[in-house]
């Protein structure tokens, strides 16, 4: 019980600093696909340094530890190799829950054996007060991350309905729980195991209650937010353990997740508070659909679609969550190839909130071997719809709705949208005319003279078009 902070050798602190810098470089590499793989390797080296340093300082070669790393690493590696790209959102949510749980376990371990962590008061009797508050914060954020991510995982994986589950008085419950956690952390200096347990239980409860009222389409914000929390949990534990690598990493991950949440909210023109308050975005919102059903629309066949696109000069493809659900990305890339053979220019337009997590569509298109320089973000391509012959919308809806620009009463008013209605022809692949988008808003694009509705499963429709093109 004599280990004190001052005994940490200088080289150890330097090693953790180097690890932290390598993590910064890992994120820096992601500024372009060309440098990204190098960046990822920096990240791995950083992690290697952090782990090796810890093992050297605290006793290497314990067979139990090596066994634990081998078991966990083996499981992680197999999952990473086998997972389907369409399942990436639930994988990331699942991984976040592991970080959260690990933080909770570490905090409990540190609480039970503070001597090993060097966080005792100089008199060696009790945990230093500052450490206790940091530890309380760490365990609280870790527990919120854990239970929240589990719910997000279950929703994304389809084990739990995507529709929001609304509890009466949930805002009051949540706010009082939050206040309770803050007070408990604050008075944790008083120290009893009961207080510690109460913090954990209250935090698990709030994580659970925060995520259940949030609907499927708001998941990009939730996944980003949990990403951020897992970072703050690591940072708080870094303060407790006085570890530079953990503090730097926690700050990086925390701000990364926060920025992604902000980008997602901005792309939906919603405030972070309104997303977290929940209730928006059931998968099967039907309001507003009934009155509009009578409006006439043009229905086309795969043959018609193939004919229109073959004779076009330029086609812009707008993918959405529906493409991911029906796994249409490979067929879609084939369609792009066939069209290019006919001399048609093909581009892809991605809305920031298309799919269930930031960048979801980009990964699926990359998986299908679509070159990334054919894929464009909203701001970069929106001006081109007016000059293009065909906008091919597949599995997207609200992100193309022009009401967002004109109708102040619409729930999606103000959300930046892709201007597909400006294209000469719009081909709209949709399962049926019945369900509106997640916002429950009817889309006037369906009923325009230059729109042809292709009502079928996205993948089957594209495959049929490919047959006619080939």
Partner 1 sequence: MEHLIPQLSIFVLACFVGYYVVWSVTPALHTPLMAVTNAISSVIIVGALVAASAATGGSETSKWLGLGAVVLASVNIFGGFAVTQRMLGMYKKKERKAEAK
Burial of 9 (0-12, 13-18, 19+ CB in 10 A): exposed
Q: How far is the CB of 187 from partner 1 (least distance, A)?
A: 18
Catalytic one of 123, 218, 337, 398: 398
353: closest CA among 165, 216, 174? Answer: 216
247 binds partner 1 (CB under 8 A): yes
166 binds partner 1 (CB under 8 A): no
Q: How far is the CB of 120 from partner 1 (least distance, A)?
A: 11
| Candidate list 86, 90, 203, 230; residue touching partner 1; CB under 8 A | 230
Q: How far is the CB of 207 from partner 1 (least distance, A)?
A: 16
Q: How far is the CB of 460 from partner 1 (least distance, A)?
A: 25
Q: How far is the CB of 413 from partner 1 (least distance, A)?
A: 24
Residue/partner pairs of 30-36 with CB below 8 Å, 24 or more apart = 33/372
Contact set for partner 1, span 272-301 (CB under 8 A): none
147 binds partner 1 (CB under 8 A): no
181 binds partner 1 (CB under 8 A): no
- What is the Cα–Cα distance from 160 to 151, expressed in whole angstroms? 8
18: closest CA among 233, 248, 236? Answer: 248
| Candidate list 7, 11, 14, 30; residue touching partner 1; CB under 8 A | 30
| Candidate list 46, 136, 213, 320; residue touching partner 1; CB under 8 A | 46
- What is the Cα–Cα distance from 448 to 454, expressed in whole angstroms? 14
Contact set for partner 1, span 320-379 (CB under 8 A): 350, 352, 357-360, 362-363, 366-367, 369, 371-375, 377
- What is the Cα–Cα distance from 406 to 421, expressed in whole angstroms? 13
62 binds partner 1 (CB under 8 A): yes
Cα 25–chain centre separation: 21
Q: Do 224 and 356 form a contact (C-beta atoms < 8 A)?
A: no
- Coil, helix or strand for 356? coil
Q: What letters, b where the CB count within 10 A reaches 16 and e where it falls short, cover 417-449?
A: bbbbbbbbbbbbbbeeeeebbbbbbbbbbbebe
Contact set for partner 1, span 80-99 (CB under 8 A): 80-81, 83, 85, 88, 91-92, 95-96, 98-99
- What is the Cα–Cα distance from 330 to 257, expressed in whole angstroms? 30
5 binds partner 1 (CB under 8 A): yes
Q: Which stretch binds partner 1 (CB under 8 A): 178-186, 257-265, 317-325, 383-391?
A: 257-265
Contact set for partner 1, span 121-140 (CB under 8 A): 130
Kindly tell me which of 18 and 433 has the beta carbon lying closer to partner 1. Answer: 18
**Is 457 one of the catalytic residues?**
no
List the catalytic residues.
Answer: 398
């Amino acid at each position: 019980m004599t280990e004190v902070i001052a005994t940490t050798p200088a080289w150890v602190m330097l090693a953790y600093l180097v690890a932290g810098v390598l993590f910064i470089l890992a994120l820096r590499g992601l500024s372009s696909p060309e440098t990204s793989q190098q960046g990822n390797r920096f990240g791995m080296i950083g992690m290697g340094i952090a782990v090796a340093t810890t093992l050297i300082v605290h006793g290497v070669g314990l067979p139990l530890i090596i066994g634990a790393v081998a078991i966990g690493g083996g499981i992680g590696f197999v999952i990473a190799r086998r997972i389907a790209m369409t399942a990436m959102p639930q994988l990331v949510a699942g991984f976040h829950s592991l970080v959260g749980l690990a933080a909770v376990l570490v905090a409990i371990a540190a609480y039970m054996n503070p001597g090993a962590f060097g966080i005792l008061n100089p008199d060696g009797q009790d945990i230093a007060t500052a450490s206790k508050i940091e530890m309380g914060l760490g365990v609280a954020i870790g527990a919120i991350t854990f239970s929240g991510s589990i719910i997000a995982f279950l929703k994304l994986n389809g084990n739990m309905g995507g529709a929001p589950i609304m509890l009466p008085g949930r805002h009051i419950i949540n706010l009082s729980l939050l206040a309770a956690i803050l007070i408990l952390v604050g008075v944790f200096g008083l120290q009893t195991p009961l207080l510690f347990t109460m913090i954990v239980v209250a935090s698990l409860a709030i994580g659970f209650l925060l995520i259940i009222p949030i609907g499927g389409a708001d998941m990009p914000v939730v996944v980003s937010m949990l990403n951020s929390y897992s970072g703050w949990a690591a940072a708080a534990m870094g303060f407790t353990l006085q570890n530079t690598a953990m503090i730097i990493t926690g700050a990086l991950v925390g701000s990364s997740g926060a920025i992604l949440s902000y980008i997602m909210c901005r792309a939906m023109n919603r405030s972070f508070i309104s997303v977290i308050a929940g209730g928006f975005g059931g998968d099967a919102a039907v309001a507003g659909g009934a009155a509009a059903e009578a409006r006439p629309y043009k229905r086309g066949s795969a043959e018609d679609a193939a004919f229109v696109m073959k004779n076009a000069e330029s086609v812009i493809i707008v993918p959405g969550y529906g493409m991911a659900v029906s796994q249409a990305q490979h067929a879609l890339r084939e369609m792009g190839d066939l069209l290019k053979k006919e001399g048609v220019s093909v581009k892809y337009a991605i809305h920031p909130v298309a799919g269930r997590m930031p960048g979801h569509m980009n990964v699926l298109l990359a998986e299908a071997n679509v070159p990334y320089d054919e894929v464009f973000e909203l701001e970069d391509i929106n001006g081109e719809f007016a000059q293009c012959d065909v906008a091919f919308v597949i599995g997207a809806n609200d992100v193309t709705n022009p009401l967002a620009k004109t109708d102040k009463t619409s729930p999606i008013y103000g959300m930046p949208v892709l201007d597909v209605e400006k294209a000469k022809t719009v081909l709209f692949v949709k399962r049926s005319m019945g369900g509106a988008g997640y916002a429950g808003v009817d889309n006037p694009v369906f009923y325009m003279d230059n729109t042809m509705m292709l009502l079928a499963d996205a993948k089957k429709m594209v495959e049929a078009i490919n047959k006619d093109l080939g």
